Structures are given as structure tokens and as C-alpha cells.
């Protein structure tokens, strides 16, 4: 292996910096899952009756389902009875009334992650909902959002304060029986964020949820529900980290987005769950169902994701383009290294007329990792003049990794125009040599090339996240991302 | 032959041409020059009937007929020929097939019988020689895998065979090296006649070194801001377009 | 999976077995038995299998086809046959899955070249029979899927072509499969071996008179080091017929394989083209599928880059009208060892009617890093700038669209390097297009 190739390897095998554990007292259910656990969960959260029924129905359905087997993702069977389904830092009372009541250890943990929750240091222009294991511990800027009529709160709170909204929309995009992990989530989800943007409101700031798994032997099952009413606009960011542990932990989230007429939702994720060590031990199983319904005319949903963490990532943020002239977008960077596996992509279901979708996927595979793009573009007969453009590029670093591209294209409408392109290549010695001949170090050259490769996606990220995403790729990127 | 009066054209509600007036008589060569985005290509496309353009005002009369009311192919059969800036590649259709289909469409339109196969081949081969092309081109798919110069030559070949009355040449010089430019210019010059007029849309003056125009018009911001003789092109070459745009804006 | 169907076939096996060729050969008898067991257990492929997700063969399962038992050639309409048979080729004709010596034309075939029916090959000279034993089942295993197992258990005949090392065939060889009898299953097995440095052009033609029948043909191809094979498949089965045709190829070092697949006929037609590529070999897969009425045409390809420096190029085009459905699944696999692989795949589809459908799934599976691979897919309509270009050349819009639709398909027809075949395919293609404005004599 040439010197430059070795440097590439060094560059990409950075340490996981968010792998610390916060020591604190927690309320944790003993491991195990049955109807009693669900009753207990619902009771502890003080949920309305319909929610308990919803959970039990999902649970009963889940019991009839089989864990999926995927051709390109390998993992040992999960023992669902060995997982604890609820873990929350101990609180003085029901919920923290102010930041003073939050365990300083938790605040400190978020601070270490670069997400300060206290009033003085909070991120300017970004409202944060911090979810620690099974519960939301703090939501910032609540007052300012309330002025605009925006509801941004933990979903457990929304269930108490806005049960009618939750009831109307929950499960309307991802039904409980949708798939194995969605069913499990519907039965046992603990917390997550709820967003409602009223008619005609442009959300005054970025909304953000920061998910942190801390406790051992727990699973995180968060649920996010975002509703953008007619003519509204919202940008939502999501970040995730977890400590380094030898065992695999399950994260099975469900995210539902609903965009009504003329509404726009932009959903960005920087996923950096613990990926496991260099030998492939430990790490998070990230089995997530994310789906948006562009229900109204001219609505638009844009998914942007940077996936660098998790031992296994299985997620397909999708758009159901129901409304005429609605638009779905998916921008993705997935980096896998060592023994990580990622099987990610999107589904664009064109139902309405003149619906448009764009898919840009960039996969980077290094070490012994396997990186798969799997996408479906489906144009139904009703979707006259639908358009899709898909571009999937894979970059291979090292000779023991894999990159796979599995697009499915199904078209039942003659006026539709669907275009898919894919390429797979490695960083060429010529490119590297060229950069070095112009005075760049091999490391900087790789940084530049990898970032150039991902640029089309990074430019879709909000500024705060773009910076984090670049840092996550372990590359110094001054000025090359716009 | 062609009379353009107060022509306004928009693309998706955005005005591109804002009142063009132009009179072209038989046998004349008019050069339309202008900076990028001035609307030169729009004018060429509107005259030849490409869809996607909305005429919001004005008229175009061609040999006493309302040109704008005609379908693209009727304009072509009436003798309006557009030499494309970017000739389209059509895999699976041979050049010879296209030429035959086109020529017979014109003859049918004029009430003449289809061209005799032998006469046609003789005609085509003669023109091919004239343009210094290889006969093999005829049997290759239209423009497929052709170099930039070959594509432009192929446009002139079609022009030579279809014998139009009004030739609109859209940036014919773009992408041509000097040798190809000479061949193309030679082809065009050989087609000059008292009955045939040319509109040459071009950004640069160099084509006009080889095909001498009778009139030069400068298009800026959707309007003709200056007209003159061949000398105007030389002046533009020297001074650029900036001074005219400023004049127009003032 | 429909094992009920399978058991109906299995029940008839014992009565049929004595009529199948090679019953005295223990290795073959054993192979057929294992294949039969496999088929009995699993039946025909199910849409739950990923490789069959867009093609449901339950229509085949509902019927019970019988093999032709007669060893004498039934009467065949000579004029019709002439329409299928190439004049400038050596041609071997199989009628209802059985070799017909009187219809075949083998005059002047070089002595070193073996071209004979599979039945003859299995009982022929001691030089040939071991060749069959050596190669049969080596390019594809009966366990791959139900149709292969079905074919292996039931093949009634087939062909063997062996071009020895260094031999360059002066004329193409046509393997003509015709079915004249309703409700027949034509299960044929063909082996093509092209020795080192040898060159051959082979045409497999599938045709039938207007009946419902099942073709289940398997062709195994072995292209030795530095050899060159161009294989044409012309599938113009009856519009009531079911067709499964699989071509399984092993390419040696530096071997070149070119395949042209014209899928025009059949009510439900599926083709598999799978190739395993050795070092520095080259393969080119071209395909054209034209669906009209209620046709379902599925083309399935798999290019397996096993060793370094191989090059593959693939382009499949589909035109779908009426209620037709076109399916394309193309897989390119690059193994860990296959560095410096260069692969390009393209699939283009034109939908001409509101009820037509195209499903396409190109796949790249890459386990090596120093590769250049790509694929592209489009589903859509004619390019509007091309329509305008033709209009600006005096051609009216309808004619322009017809010309461009035809041209879209004709690009694949133009790749045929055998004049007589080119003309026959062109004729078939023209039949399936709106004729207005297409002047055949100019083509």
C-alpha cells in the first residue's frame, strides 16, 4: 500500500469522541417486554386512554411478525426480553420546571456534546429538545416559539396537552403494522419531539432534537411527529450519540412528517451513534422508519442525512407525494468504516400530478464496511408528468469494503420522466498526485476530494450542522463546503 | 421577405425579447450580435417555432404570411431553416433517411412528386463533396458521435439539400476550429443567392470575417440597441458590448 | 411456489422418463432425479424470490404442458419456417423440443466442428458423450431456480455445438426452436463450447405457430481463453406462448462474449443472461424488448466480474405499448479479486400508453475498490428537442414521433452484424410500431 493510501486510512479511522458515560441515578425498568410493561409505561407517562390502546394493538401485531432478514445486512438475533424499555434520569417531581431541576450531570453531558442547554450558552437561533435515554429532559426557547404559535415539545407532553392533534396524525404516515421495528416502536416508544406549525407560519428558528443513549442494556425508541399546516415552513435538525459499550444497543425510532398544502418541511439528521470498535464489537443498531406525507398541493419535504455512526444503519427516509405539484428530496451521505454496515436510501412514491423528486446519495465505504444504497421510485398511474432524478455515487477506500446500489424503478405513467444514474469509483492516484503536486498534503488532498464528493449533500445542511458533518468525516475542510 | 414588428417574447412569464423590429429583404445577410443572455438564441428559436416561448406582442410576417401562426414543420417547408447551435443527436435514424424524409415532405407540401432515388443520391453526394465530408456520414445516425465541427457541417449539408429561402444560423461558429469554420463558411457562401436571406446569430465577429454581412444588429437586454453595416462588427470586436449596454440602459 | 403444480408434473415423470435422452447414462439419470426432487419441492419460482419480484409465473402453473413424445418431425408450414430460417447459416432445427434432421441444413460444416442434437450427442461417438458429461450443468446449477430444475429433469433434446480450438466458423450457426403443437412444453438443453482462440457466431431463434405452449430452454456456453462468441437470441414466440430462456456463460481469460437479445414475442416471456468473467475478458450485452397488448417481458442479466481487468458493457432498451409490462433486472457483481473492473450498464424505457408499465432494477454489488462502474436508467418519453429538430427539418410531429420511437429501437437492431438476421429482426420490429411515416425501403 502506498504512503498516501496509508494516510487515507489514518484519516478515516478517527476515534469516537462522544463515547463517554454519564454516571447518574436513573429510573430504569427491569429488562423484558410484555403487556404489563406497556401498561406501566403508559401509566408512568400519564397518557390518555387511546394511547394505551394504540400501544397494545401495535404490540399484539408485533408479536405476530417476524424479524426481517436482509440479504446485505448481517446481525445476530436481538433478544427483546433482555432490553429495558424505559430509563430516565431521576427527577425531583413529575418533570423539570426549569433547568435548575435537571440533574447537573445531564446538563454536563449535553455540554460535553456541544449542546449547551442553559440559558446563557444555548445555540443562537436553534431551539433544542434534548432526549436522554427514554425521556425529554429539556426544551429550549419554548416561550419564543409559543409567541409564533409553534408547538415544539416532547411528544409525551403533547399527548397530555394536545391529545387531539396527536391522535389525528400519529400513525397516519407510518401505521403501527408497517414493519417489524415500526410496530415495536408503536408499542413501546418513550419520548421524542412533537412539532406543529400553524397555518401560514414560518417557524422563527431552527428546531432541533438531540438524542442521547446513556444507560446500558436499554433500547431507545423515540417517536417524532411533525405537522406543517397550510403554508407553513419549518426546518428541523436531529443529532444522535451514544457511549461506547461492548454490547449492541437497539435504536428503533419512527419519524412521521405531514406537510399540508403549500407547506415545507426540511428535516436534517447528523447521525453519529456509537459505531462499535475496530473489530466490530458493540455499537448501535439503528433501525429507523422515517416517512413524510406530502399531503397537500405544492407541499415539499426535504430529507438530508449524514450517517456516520451506528454498527448497522437501516433506514429509508421516504416521501409519499400525494398532493399535486408536491416535491420530495433526499440528500444523503453515508460513511461506513471498519465493520459498519449501512443499508440506506429512500422511497419516493409519486401519486399526485406534477410531483417531483430528487435523490442524491453519496456512499463512502472504508475498512471492511458494507455500504448499500437501496431506493424505490414508484410512479403511480395518477401521477401524470411526475419527474424523478436520482444520482447515487459510491466511493471506495480500501480493498476489503463493499459498495452496493439497488435502485428499484416502477413506472405506470407514460408522461413520467425518471432518470437514475450511479457510479462507483475510488479516489484515484491521479487525483491524489495532482493535489500533492500542487502542494497539498495527502491528508488535505483526501479531505478535499471526499468533501468535493459530498458537497452536493453538505450544501443542503443548515450551517450549524454542515460544520458538524464535516468534522464528523474527520476532514479539514476550510472553505470547500458552501 | 421577413418583417419583424415590435416582437415581445417571454419564457415562463419572464420577458426575454422586448420589442424587436427587423426588416430582411431577399438576398440580404443580417448578423445579430450581442452578449450572452441578450436574447439572440430566443429570437432564432421563436422564428423557427420552438415550443416554450410565448409571444406577448408584435408580429412576424414572412412572404406576406403570418409566420407565428405556423407549426414548426410548416415554417420549415415554407423555407425557414434553423441551423442549430447544438444539433441534436438522433441514434437509430440515419442522415440519409432524415434528408430523404425532409426533402420529400417539402416536395409533397409543394405538390411535387417524391424525389427519384437515383437523382436524390446524386444530389446528396454532390453536396457532400462540396462540404468536404465523407460519404460514410450519410449512413451514420444523425449527429451521433459527431465532433462539433462535423455536426455543424452536417447542418450546412441539410441546408444545401433543402434549399431554404431564409436561413437562421444560431451560433454556427461556436465550437469550431479555424479549418472547420472555413469549410462551413465556404458552404454558406456557396448558398448565397439573390433569393436567399440569412440571419446569423453570433457572439463573436470572427465568423463575419468569412461570411460578410450586409447589416449588423446589436441585441442587448431584449432589444436591438444599434444597427449598422459590417464595420459595426469590427467596432464591437474592439470595444466589446459594454458601451452599448450602458448606452441602452441610460 | 406451487408444489401442487409440481406434483402434477412429477406424477407424469415416470411415464415420460423412458423417452428422455440419456436414460442409460447413470450420471445423467442421477442429475435428472436430483433436479426432479428440487422441482417437486419448490415448483416454479415465486414473486417472493427477489429475482422474480416483478414476474409472476402463476399463469404457467395453472396449465399442464406435455412434452412431445413423437420422434418423427410433425408437418411444419414450409413458408412460415422459411420466414424464421436464415439462408446464409448452418441451421439446426428443433420442432416441439425434438431435433429434426430433415429440416436442418448442415452442408459444408467443417469436420472438426461438432453440431448435433443433444440426444445424438449423448449416444454418439465416445469422443462426444464425455464432453456432454463434462459440461452439462457446469455453467448453471439446477438449484438456481425452478425453471432450471424443470429443464434439467425434463429436457427432451437440445443441441451441442463444439468449435474446437483455433477454428473460425465461416458462417453463423442458427439454432432454430419451433413449436407447432398446442399445450406442448419444449424443454431443450443446449451446450455451446468455443475452444481456445476459436470464433463463432450463433443465433438462437425461438418461434411458434399461434398456440399456447411453454418453452423452457437452457443454454450453457463455455468460451475458452481468447475465444470469441457472438450470440444472438431472437425470441418471437407466439403471442399466446410462455417463454423461459436462460443463457449461462463461462468466459475464460481474455474471452469475448457479445450477446444480442431481441425479446419480441410471448405472452409471458423471461430471459436470463448470466455470465462469469475471468481475467481481462470482455462482455457486451445488448437487449431490446418490445411489448404490445398484454405482453409481459422480463429480461434478467447478471455479470459476474470474478477476476481483474475485465470489461463489461450493457445496454437494454424497452418500448412498451398497450397494457404491456416490461421488466429489467440487471446485476453487476464485482468480486474482491476483480480489481480494475470497468463496467457500464444502461437501461432505457419508453412508455407509449397509459396502461403500459416499466419496472427496472439495475444493481451494482461491488467488493473491490479499484473499479470504474456505473449504471443509468431512464423511463420516459421521447426527447422533445429531437422532435423539434425533426420538425424544423420539415417533418410533421406525428411522423417525427413515430420515427424517433422506431429509431429508439432501431439503434439496437443496427448492432446486428449478420445481414439476413438484421433484415428479419427489422421486419419483426417494424410490425410492432406505428407505421405512419416510416419508409422501410429507405432503411
Asked if B109's CB is within 8 angstroms of C388's CB, the reply is no
Cross-chain CB nearest to C359 (options A410, A419, A424): A410
Residues in chain A with pLDDT values less than 50: 1-5, 8, 11, 92-96, 475-482
Shortest distance between the Cα of B45 and any Cα of chain C, in A, equals 10
- For chain B, what is the domain count? 1
**C121 vs C213: CA distance, rounded Å:** 26
Most distant pair of Cα atoms in chain A: their distance: 69
Look over chain C and give the mean of its residue pLDDT values, rounded to a whole number.
93
Mean of the pLDDT values across residues B145-162?
90
Interface test with C, best of B73, B102, B156 (most C CBs within 10 A): B73
Is the separation of the CB atoms in C155 and C124 below 8 Å?
Answer: no
Task: Classify residue A145: in a domain, yes or no.
Answer: yes
pLDDT of residue A482: 22
pLDDT score of A93 = 47
**The pLDDT of residue B24:** 95
Q: Do A394 and C366 touch (CB under 8 A)?
A: yes
Residue C346 contacts B, CB cutoff 8 Å: no
- What is the ipTM for the molecules in this complex? 0.85
Tell whether C336 lies on the interface with A, counting CB pairs under 8 A: yes
Answer for the pair C366, C335: CB distance below 8 angstroms, yes or no: no
Q: Contact C439/B84, CB-based, under 8 Å? A: no
List the 3-62 stretch of B: residues with Cβ below 8 A of C: 48-51
pLDDT of amino acid A137: 66
Q: How far is B19 from B43, CA to CA, in rounded Å?
A: 11
Residue A240: per-residue pLDDT: 66
Give the bridge partners for A70, in sequence order. Answer: A73
Contact A404 C380 (CB under 8 A): no
Residue A480 lies in a domain: no
Q: What percent of chain C has pLDDT over 70?
A: 98
Using CA coordinates, name the residue in chain C closest to B88: C386
Q: Which residue has better confidence, C40 or C12? A: C40
Residue C205: its pLDDT value, please? 97
CA distances to A287, B100, B120, C393 from B115, in Å: 69, 8, 6, 16
The per-residue pLDDT for range C310-361, each reduced to its tens digit, is 999 999 999 999 999 999 999 999 998 899 999 999 999 999 999 999 999 9
Residues of A in contact with C372 (CB under 8 A): 424-425
Domain annotation covers residue A276 = yes
Alpha helices in A149-215 (DSSP H): 155-161, 163-169, 180-188
3-state SS, residue B148: helix
Does residue A52 fall inside a structural domain?
Answer: yes
C-facing residues of A in 424-463 (CB < 8 A) are: 424-426
CB contact under 8 A, A416 and C367: no
CA distances (Å), origin A315, targets A72, A302, A344, A374:
13, 15, 5, 9
Name the domain count of chain A: 1
CA gap C27, C205 in Å, rounded:
30
Q: Is residue A171 part of a domain?
A: yes
Q: Is C126 exposed, middle or buried (0-12, 13-18, 19+ CB in 10 A)?
A: exposed
Residue A478 lies in a domain: no
Q: Inform me whether the C-beta atom of residue A68 falls under 8 Å from chain C C-beta atoms.
A: no
CB B225 within 8 A of CB B248: yes
Beta-carbon count within 10 A of B208 CB: 23
Neighbours of C138 (CB within 10 A): 12
Go through A67-79 and write b for each residue having 16 or more CB atoms within 10 A of its CB, e for each that does not.
eeeeeebeeeebe
Residues of A in contact with C345 (CB under 8 A): none
| pLDDT at site A481 | 24
B-A interface (Cβ pairs under 8 Å ≥ 3): no
In chain A, count H helices and then E strands: 11, 24
Q: CB atoms < 10 A from the CB of A3, how many?
A: 8
* Nearby residues of B112 by Cβ (< 8 Å), 6 or more positions away: none
Backbone dihedral region of B34: left (phi > 0), alpha (psi from -120 to 50 degrees) or beta?
Answer: left
Compute the distance between CA of residue B193 and CA of residue B211 in angstroms, rounded to an integer.
Answer: 13
Please give the pLDDT value at position A480. Answer: 23
The average pLDDT across C139-159 equals 95
A366 lies within 8 A of chain C by CB: no
**Which residue among A381, A406, A409 sits closest to C359, beta carbon to beta carbon?**
A409
The pLDDT score that the predictor gives to residue A285 is: 85
Whether residue C359 lies within 8 A of chain A, CB to CB, comes out as yes
> Chain A: nearest CA to C304, how far in angstroms?
14
A176 touches chain C (CB under 8 A): no
- B81/C408 CB distance under 8 A: no
CA distance A148 to A150: 5
What pLDDT does A92 receive?
A: 47
C-alpha gyration radius of chain B = 18
Chain C contact probe: residue of A359, A424, A429 with most C CBs at under 10 A:
A424
Indicate yes or no: CB of C374 within 8 angstroms of CB of A400: no
Measured distance between the N- and C-terminal CA atoms of chain C, rounded to whole angstroms:
47
Per-residue pLDDT at C257: 98
Give the model confidence (pLDDT) of B55-64 as tens digits: 999 999 999 9
What pLDDT score does A119 carry?
Answer: 55
With cell 445579430, the residue in question is: B32
Q: How far is CA C317 from CA A242, B202, C230, in A?
A: 48, 39, 19
User: By the CB < 8 Å criterion, does C394 face chain B?
Assistant: yes
- Flag whether residue B158 sits within 8 Å of chain C, measured between CB atoms: yes
Interchain pair C378, A402: CB under 8 A: no
- For residues A192 and A154, the answer to whether their CB atoms sit within 8 Å is yes
- CB contacts under 8 A, C 258-317 vs B, are none
Q: Which positions in chain C touch A418 (Cβ < 8 Å)?
A: 377-380
Nearest to B91 among C392, C399, C411 (CB): C411
Please identify which residue in the block is written with the cell numbers 462522544: A18
**Nine cell digits for residue A115:** 449542546
Condensed to tens digits (0 to 9), the pLDDT of residues C159-195 reads: 999 999 999 999 999 999 999 999 999 999 999 999 9
Answer whether residue A57 is part of any domain: yes
- Cβ–Cβ contact C47 with A under 8 A: no
Across the interface, do C439 and B141 touch by the CB < 8 Å criterion?
no
The CATH number of whichever domain residue B115 belongs to comes to 3.40.50.300
H/E element holding C82? helix C78-84
Q: What are phi and psi of A154, to 5 degrees?
A: -60, 145
pTM of the model: 0.85
Which residues on C lie below 8 Å from B162 (Cβ)? 393-394
**Residue B35 φ/ψ, nearest 5 degrees:** -70, 170
Probe site for chain C from A414, A425, A426, A430 (most C CB atoms < 10 A)? A414
A:C CB pairs within 8 Å: 110
| Percent of chain C's residues with pLDDT above 90 | 81
The CA distance from B106 to C395, in Å, is 9
Flag whether residue B234 sits within 8 Å of chain C, measured between CB atoms.
no
Q: Which residues of C touch A386 (CB under 8 A)?
A: none
- The pLDDT of residue A299: 97
Give the gap in angstroms from C-alpha B50 to the nearest C-alpha of chain C.
7
Do residue C394 and residue B109 have CB atoms under 8 angstroms apart?
yes
Q: Are C390 and B82 within 8 A, CB to CB?
A: no
| Radius of gyration (C-alpha) of chain C in whole angstroms | 21
Please give the average per-residue pLDDT across B133-162, as a whole number.
Answer: 89
Half-sphere exposure in the Cβ direction for B200 (13 Å, CA) = 30
Identify the H or E element spanning C105.
Answer: strand C98-105
Task: Give the closest of B72, B100, B106 to C391, CB-based.
Answer: B72
Answer yes or no: is A482 within a domain: no
> Do B and C touch (≥3 CB pairs < 8 Å)?
yes
Query: What is the total residue count of chain C?
Result: 443
Chain A positions in Cβ-Cβ contact with residue C360 (cut-off 8 Å): 408-409
Contact C232, C260 (CB under 8 A): yes
Residue pair A229/A199 in contact (Cβ under 8 Å)? The answer is yes
Partners of residue B88 in chain C, C-beta under 8 Å: 383, 385-386, 388-389
Mark residue A46 as left, alpha or beta (left: phi above 0; alpha: psi -120 to 50; beta: remaining).
Answer: left
Domain extent at residue A153:
3-472
Nearest to A272 by CA among A362, A211, A208, A214: A211
- Out of C388, C403, C437, name the one closest to residue B72 (CB): C388
Task: Flag if B90 and C389 touch (Cβ within 8 Å).
Answer: yes
Tell me, yes or no, if C433 comes closer than 8 A to chain B by beta carbon.
Answer: no
Please check whether residue A364 is in contact with residue A392, taking contact to mean a CB–CB distance below 8 angstroms: no
Strand partners, B245: none
**Chains in contact with A, counting 3 or more C-beta pairs less than 8 Å apart as contact:** C
pLDDT at C100: 94
Nearest to A414 among C352, C373, C378 (CB): C352
CA-CA distances (angstroms) from residue C40 to C29, C147, C149, C216?
A: 16, 12, 9, 17
Q: Please tell me whether residue C176 adopts helix, strand or coil conformation.
A: strand
Nearest to C379 among A403, A405, A418 (CB): A418
Nearest-CB residue to A426 (from C360, C369, C376): C369
CB distance C371–A396 less than 8 Å?
Answer: yes
Amino acid at each position: 500500500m502506498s504512503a498516501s493510501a496509508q494516510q487515507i486510512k489514518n484519516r478515516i479511522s478517527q476515534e469516537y469522541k462522544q463515547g463517554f458515560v454519564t454516571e447518574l441515578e436513573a429510573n430504569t425498568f427491569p429488562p423484558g417486554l410484555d403487556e404489563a410493561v406497556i401498561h406501566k409505561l403508559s401509566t408512568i407517562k400519564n397518557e390518555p386512554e387511546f394511547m394505551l390502546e394504540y400501544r397494545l394493538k401495535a404490540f399484539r401485531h408485533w408479536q405476530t411478525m417476524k424479524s426481517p432478514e436482509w440479504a446485505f445486512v448481517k446481525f445476530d438475533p436481538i433478544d427483546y426480553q433482555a432490553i429495558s424499555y424505559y430509563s430516565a434520569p431521576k427527577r425531583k417531581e413529575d418533570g423539570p420546571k426549569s433547568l435548575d431541576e435537571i440533574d447537573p450531570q445531564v446538563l454536563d453531558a449535553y455540554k460535553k456534546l456541544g449542546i449547551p442547554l442553559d440559558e446563557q450558552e444555548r445555540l443562537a437561533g436553534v431551539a433544542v429538545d434534548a432526549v436522554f435515554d427514554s425521556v425529554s429532559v429539556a426544551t429550549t426557547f419554548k416561550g419564543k416559539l409559543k409567541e409564533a404559535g409553534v408547538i415544539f415539545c416532547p411528544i409525551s407532553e403533547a399527548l397530555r396537552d394536545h391529545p387531539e392533534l396527536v391522535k389525528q396524525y400519529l400513525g397516519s404516515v407510518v401505521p403501527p403494522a408497517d414493519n417489524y421495528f415500526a410496530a415495536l416502536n408503536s408499542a413501546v416508544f418513550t419520548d421524542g419531539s412533537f412539532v406543529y406549525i400553524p397555518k401560514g407560519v414560518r417557524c422563527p428558528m431552527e428546531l432541533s432534537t438531540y438524542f442521547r443513549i446513556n444507560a446500558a442494556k436499554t433500547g431507545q425508541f423515540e417517536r417524532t411527529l411533525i405537522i406543517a399546516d397550510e403554508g407553513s415552513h419549518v426546518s428541523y435538525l436531529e443529532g444522535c450519540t451514544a457511549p461506547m459499550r461492548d454490547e449492541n444497543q437497539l435504536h428503533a425510532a419512527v419519524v412521521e412528517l405531514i406537510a399540508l398544502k403549500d407547506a415545507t418541511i426540511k428535516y436534517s439528521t447528523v447521525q453519529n451513534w456509537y459505531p462499535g470498535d475496530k473489530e466490530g464489537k458493540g455499537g448501535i443498531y439503528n433501525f429507523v422508519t422515517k416517512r413524510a406525507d406530502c399531503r397537500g398541493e405544492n407541499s415539499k419535504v426535504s430529507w438530508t442525512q449524514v450517517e456516520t455512526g451506528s454498527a448497522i444503519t437501516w433506514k429509508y427516509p421516504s416521501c409519499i407525494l400525494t398532493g399535486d405539484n408536491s416535491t420530495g428530496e433526499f440528500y444523503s451521505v453515508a460513511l461506513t468504516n471498519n465493520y459498519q454496515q449501512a443499508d440506506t436510501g429512500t422511497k419516493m412514491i409519486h401519486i399526485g400530478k406534477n410531483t417531483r423528486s430528487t435523490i442524491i446519495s453519496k456512499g463512502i465505504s472504508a475498512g471492511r464496511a458494507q455500504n448499500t444504497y437501496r431506493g424505490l421510485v414508484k410512479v403511480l398511474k395518477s401521477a401524470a408528468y411526475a419527474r424523478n432524478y436520482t444520482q447515487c455515487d459510491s466511493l471506495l477506500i480500501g480493498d476489503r469494503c463493499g459498495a452496493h446500489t439497488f435502485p428499484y424503478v416502477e413506472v405506470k405513467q407514460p408522461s413520467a420522466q425518471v432518470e437514475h444514474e450511479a457510479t462507483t469509483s475510488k479516489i484515484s492516484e491521479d487525483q491524489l498526485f495532482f493535489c500533492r503536486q500542487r502542494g497539498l498534503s495527502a491528508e488535505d488532498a483526501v479531505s478535499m476530494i471526499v468533501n468535493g464528493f459530498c458537497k452536493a449533500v453538505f450544501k443542503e445542511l443548515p450551517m450549524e450542522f454542515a460544520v458538524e458533518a464535516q468534522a464528523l468525516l474527520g476532514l479539514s475542510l476550510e472553505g470547500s463546503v458552501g | 421577405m421577413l418583417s419583424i414588428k415590435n416582437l415581445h417574447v417571454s419564457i415562463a412569464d419572464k420577458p426575454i425579447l422586448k420589442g424587436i423590429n427587423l426588416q430582411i429583404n431577399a438576398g440580404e445577410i443580417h448578423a445579430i450580435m450581442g452578449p450572452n443572455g441578450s436574447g439572440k438564441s430566443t429570437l432564432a428559436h421563436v422564428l423557427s417555432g420552438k415550443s416554450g416561448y410565448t409571444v406577448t406582442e408584435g408580429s412576424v410576417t414572412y412572404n406576406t404570411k403570418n409566420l407565428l401562426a405556423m407549426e414548426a414543420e410548416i415554417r420549415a417547408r415554407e423555407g425557414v431553416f434553423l441551423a442549430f447551435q447544438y444539433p441534436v443527436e438522433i441514434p437509430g435514424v440515419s442522415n440519409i433517411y432524415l434528408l430523404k424524409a425532409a426533402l420529400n415532405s417539402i416536395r409533397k407540401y409543394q405538390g411535387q412528386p417524391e424525389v427519384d432515388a437515383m437523382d436524390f443520391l446524386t444530389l446528396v453526394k454532390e453536396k457532400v463533396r462540396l462540404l468536404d465530408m465523407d460519404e460514410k456520414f450519410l449512413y451514420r445516425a444523425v449527429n451521433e458521435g459527431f465532433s462539433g465541427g462535423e455536426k455543424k457541417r452536417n447542418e450546412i449539408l441539410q441546408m444545401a439539400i433543402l434549399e431554404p429561402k431564409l436561413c437562421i444560423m444560431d451560433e454556427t461558429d461556436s465550437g469550431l476550429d479555424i479549418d472547420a469554420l472555413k469549410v462551413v463558411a465556404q458552404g454558406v457562401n456557396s448558398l448565397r443567392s439573390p433569393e436567399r436571406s440569412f440571419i446569423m446569430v453570433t457572439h463573436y465577429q470572427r465568423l463575419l470575417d468569412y461570411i460578410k454581412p450586409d447589416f449588423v444588429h446589436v441585441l442587448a437586454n431584449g432589444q436591438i440597441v444599434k444597427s449598422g453595416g459590417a464595420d459595426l462588427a469590427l467596432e464591437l470586436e474592439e470595444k466589446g458590448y459594454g458601451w452599448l449596454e450602458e448606452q441602452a440602459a441610460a | 411456489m406451487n408444489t401442487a403444480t409440481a406434483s402434477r408434473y412429477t406424477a407424469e415423470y415416470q411415464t415420460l422418463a423412458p423417452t428422455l435422452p440419456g436414460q442409460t447414462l447413470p450420471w445423467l439419470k442421477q442429475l435428472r432425479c436430483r433436479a426432479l426432487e428440487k422441482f417437486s419441492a419448490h415448483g416454479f419460482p415465486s414473486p417472493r424470490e427477489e429475482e422474480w419480484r416483478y414476474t409472476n409465473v402463476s399463469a404457467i402453473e395453472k396449465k399442464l404442458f406435455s412434452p412431445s413424445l413423437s420422434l418423427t418431425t410433425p408437418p411444419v408450414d414450409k413458408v412460415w419456417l422459411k420466414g424464421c430460417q436464415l439462408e446464409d447459416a448452418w441451421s439446426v432445427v428443433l420442432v416441439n423440443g425434438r431435433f429434426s434432421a430433415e429440416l436442418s441444413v448442415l452442408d459444408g460444416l467443417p469436420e472438426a466442428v461438432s453440431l448435433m442434437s443433444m440426444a445424438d450427442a449423448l449416444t454418439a461417438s465416445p469422443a462426444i458423450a464425455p464432453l456432454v458429461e463434462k459440461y452439462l450443468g457446469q455453467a448453471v446449477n439446477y438449484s438456481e431456480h425452478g425453471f432450471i430444475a424443470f429443464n434439467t429433469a425434463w429436457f427432451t433434446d437440445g443441441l451441442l455445438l463444439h468449435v474446437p480450438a483455433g477454428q473460425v466458423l465461416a458462417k453463423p450457426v442458427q439454432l432454430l426452436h419451433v413449436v407447432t403443437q398446442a399445450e406442448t412444453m419444449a424443454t431443450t438443453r443446449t451446450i455451446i463450447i468455443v475452444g481456445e482462440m476459436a470464433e463463432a457466431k450463433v443465433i438462437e431463434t425461438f418461434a411458434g405457430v399461434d398456440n399456447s405452449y411453454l418453452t423452457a430452454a437452457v443454454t450453457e456456453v463455455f468460451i475458452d481463453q481468447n475465444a470469441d462468441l457472438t450470440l444472438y437470441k431472437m425470441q418471437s414466440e407466439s403471442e399466446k406462448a410462455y417463454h423461459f430462456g436462460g443463457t449461462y456463460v463461462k468466459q475464460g481469460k481474455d474471452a469475448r462474449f457479445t450477446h444480442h437479445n431481441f425479446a419480441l414475442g410471448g405472452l409471458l416471456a423471461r430471459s436470463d443472461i448470466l455470465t462469469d468473467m475471468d481475467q481481462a475478458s470482455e462482455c457486451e450485452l445488448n437487449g431490446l424488448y418490445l411489448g404490445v397488448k398484454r405482453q409481459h417481458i422480463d429480461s434478467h442479466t447478471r455479470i459476474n466480474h470474478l477476476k481483474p481487468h475485465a470489461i463489461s458493457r450493457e445496454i437494454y432498451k424497452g418500448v412498451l405499448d398497450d397494457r404491456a409490462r416490461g421488466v429489467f433486472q440487471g446485476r453487476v457483481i464485482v468480486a474482491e479479486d476483480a480489481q480494475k473492473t470497468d463496467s457500464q450498464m444502461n437501461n432505457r424505457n419508453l412508455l407509449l400508453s397509459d396502461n403500459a408499465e416499466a419496472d427496472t432494477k439495475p444493481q451494482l454489488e461491488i467488493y473491490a475498490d479499484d473499479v470504474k462502474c456505473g449504471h443509468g436508467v431512464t423511463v420516459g418519453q421521447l426527447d422533445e428537442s429531437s422532435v423539434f429538430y425533426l420538425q424544423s427539418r420539415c417533418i410533421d410531429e406525428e411522423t417525427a414521433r413515430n420515427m424517433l420511437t422506431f429509431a429508439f429501437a432501431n439503434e439496437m437492431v443496427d448492432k446486428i452484424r449478420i445481414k439476413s438476421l438484421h433484415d428479419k429482426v427489422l421486419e419483426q420490429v417494424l410490425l410492432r410500431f406505428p407505421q405512419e411515416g416510416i419508409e422501410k425501403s429507405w432503411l
